[in-house]
Structure 1
Amino acid sequence: MAKLSVTSPLMILWSVFFFFHLATTPATCSNNKTDLQALLAFKNAINGGLSSWNATLHYCNWKGILCSRRHQSRVVSINLRSQGLVGSISPHIGNLSFLRTIILQNNSFHGQIPEEIGRLRRLQKIEFSNNSFSGEIPRNLSQCRNLYYLNMIDNDLTGIIIPEIGSLIKLKALGLSINNLSDNYFNGVLPASLSNASLLEELYMHSNNFTGQILKDFSRLSSLRFVDLSSNHLEGDISFISSMINCTSLEALLLSKNLLSGSLPDSISNLSTQLSFLAIDYSQLHGTIPSGIGNLIGLNRLSIANNYLEGPIPSLIALATVLTC
């Protein structure tokens, strides 16, 4: 009995500690100092906000954080969409080596996107749209070989579309619209290496400062469904459109408000029958509208206004097509 009475206080203290530990640490999460320190550095680079990121909860339970079930305590997702956050991204983001998704859409992040993001080899999705990021697109982003979704629409990015982006062979969606990107004077607006991203389905580049020529050969980008290069200063012959015949899933091709010239090639009639929206208005096209354009049976909106086109409107254009000319 005496022995029990001596050890009881220690047993009580251990029980209290064990109970508290269970209450604050989920059974599926252990501690990982690298990920914890990276998240704290991320928080410190933000001006206020993220008050829920504190020691009262294990970081796997912090708002917007998802940890792996297989690799306990390793952060695989950060989702902080529309949280009113103001600040920059800490370079320590590169230490979250298990990160697969980062969504910061619709906040007020600014400054450059740190080069360290290229260390995230497991990264699959980057959603940075509607912020104020500046500077150039990090060149070593090409190291994120598993990236399939990259959206940086509506920021203040400058510089060129890096040729290294062609190394992202799993890329399916690329959004760089509404920035201050300019030309790649060596390879045109779209680097030739982009054709290596043969899985690319969505390409959004509208409202930048491009003044060069469009990539002339789209034949290897056969998975394209949506292309928007409108509202730039693109120039060159419209004949490049012939190289899109292999894009058999193409649904929308928007080239409005550029300086494209030449005449519409007859091969336009061989574009995807799934094409529903074709816009080449406010350019410098001349000649006639090819009669074969009526073969595009899925076309329900054709916008070719404010060009130098002449001649009759082909009778085979479906009555359901909204024609702006």
Structure 2
Amino acid sequence: MNELIRDGAAWSRRGFLSAGFGLAAAGLFPFRGAAAADGTRRRVLRIAHLTDMHIQPELRAAEGVSACLRQLNDMPDRPDLILSGGDHIMDSFRRPRERTATQWNLWSQVVKNENGIPIHSCLGNHDVWGWDRTKSGTTGTEPEYGKRWACDVLGLDKPYYSFTQGGWRLIALDGVQPSPRPGEFSAFLDDEQYDWLQRELESLPSTTPVLLWTHIPIVSAVVNHLATRATIHDDGLVEAGHVHADSLKIVNLLSRFPNVKACLGGHLHRVERVDLRGIQHYCNGAVCGKWWRGANEGFPEGFALVDLYEDGSHECRYQTYGWQAKEREKPS
């Protein structure tokens, strides 16, 4: 069989090419940020970026997340920390209390049993409980309503925050916001969070490199081929929630600070890198691939390893963990 081998994963040539610009230009190949002029660098932090786990009792999802975490924990050069990009569970946005509790309990059990690496999370839209009140049966007055349940499980005081490790400032953002349309969500930073981010960046020394992560990408090229149009001559319509609606506003802010080096995102279950105004924006695929039914349009189940260096440079590599989905199973 005609195969391509990269980072220990076997790919059929047809499967590799079907991934389009995402895997053909990037995929399992490493992405590199700016390196030191003399070629010498000291790594100060290794991060595993896991996003879109979508754990559920069906489709062996818990087994898949377990396999991913075991691979990370068993690495000879294992990551110092995990940045979780959200959508930890399959869905609580439109699910009742009992189903939501089942999923969060499963997530907590798998992490307890399989993981010894510190995890820092941001929230995905599927982690938010009950915003679709009709389908979830919520009233909006429940103590766990909205983001509170996920924050409690994940140990977060707020869904956005920052911390320093290895000399880098790591900033978690929350782009999942209520939509005026009932039962839906939008992607942007509310005014309070935007002001906080601006103050955060202004407070840092210019020598402190910054990495941000969020669930919904701030910048994406993939959404261009996801846009819908009636004919080839019509304007493309990008679905609300696929990418930040306030992308330009955020990019204008970030570009004021040369120490902002990279932004990590997920949500789209595809792999891409966009270089824009000195910042690398990565969409790092999905641990669940196509929601535990195989690769998503050629983009396989996986995670990213992100190496951060003392000089402010970085490398980001997406890789698989060898999961074989049972694609014939029916989704729940």
Normalised by the length of structure 2, the TM-score is 0.25
Q: Which has the larger radius of gyration?
A: 1
Tell me which of the two structures has the higher relative contact order, counting C-alpha pairs closer than 8 angstroms and 6 or more residues apart. Answer: 2
Normalised by the length of structure 1, the TM-score is 0.26
